[in-house]
A = this chain, B = another copy of it.
Amino acid sequence: MIKTSPGGGCIRAYIPFKANGAKSRLSKILNRKERQMLASLMLEDVLISLRSSRLDAITLLSTASDGITEIVKSHGIKCRIDDRDLNTAINSILKEDTDPVMIVMSDLPLLKSSEIDRILEFEEDIVIAPGLGGGTNILLVRSPKSFHVDYHGNSLQDHLNIAKESGLSVRIYHSFLAAVDIDEATDLVELLIHSDGRASSYIRNLGFYLVENDGRVTVKREVENA
């Protein structure tokens, strides 16, 4: 196994995944089945990038085993089921682990392996790739036992505060491709413009396309919720 951490130790990425009821903010333009499919395909896009990065190991952290068996099998990754809320599940992992841990959100279909490798190169105790709107889309924790997460709202600021309280050094890595998470209809604009992965192809095949309206780009669907 290649040691990718400057401080040594195998680096494992955990990808939290909501197995049911994901992406409810897209319910105006996608039905439940479509939202579930989009979530799975975004997860696969993320997995493909992570697998071609210099990470040592990947674990899918899912709220349930529904619908993930094929993904886990085909990508040859580990799976951990934890139906508790995100913070409890992640903090439980951080308490157990001694090797560096990376937490990568599953709704980052623009992500490329080069972004992951860049994050691994930094030497700070904590590396954060923020999401738009103050989220923490990727988090690298070199010493898991000395940190805990608080994912909600402006979690970037919360994580900076937690690191400061614990005397940990922090690097904020501003990455466009890691910043775009797909939560709302307007986010599909970035998906269609900047990705040709599985999630983007699926959205295209559902009939979504880009339109310009008063100089702004939005998405439309050929046949609305047909």
Contacts and interface: CB of A to CB of B under 8 A. Distances in A.
A152 B212 contact: yes
B134 A193 contact: yes
A189 B133 contact: yes
Copies in the complex: 2
Contacts of A164: none
Interface in A159-208: 174-177, 179, 186, 189-190, 193-194
Nearest to A184: B216
A132 interface: yes
Contacts of A6: none
B179 A210 contact: no
A5 to B, nearest CB: 24
Contacts of A212: 152-154
A156 interface: yes
Interface residues of A, number: 25
Contacts of A177: 174
B176 A216 contact: no
A157 interface: yes
A215 interface: yes
Interface string A137-155: 0000000000000001110
A14 to B, nearest CB: 20
Contacts of A152: 212, 215
A68 interface: no
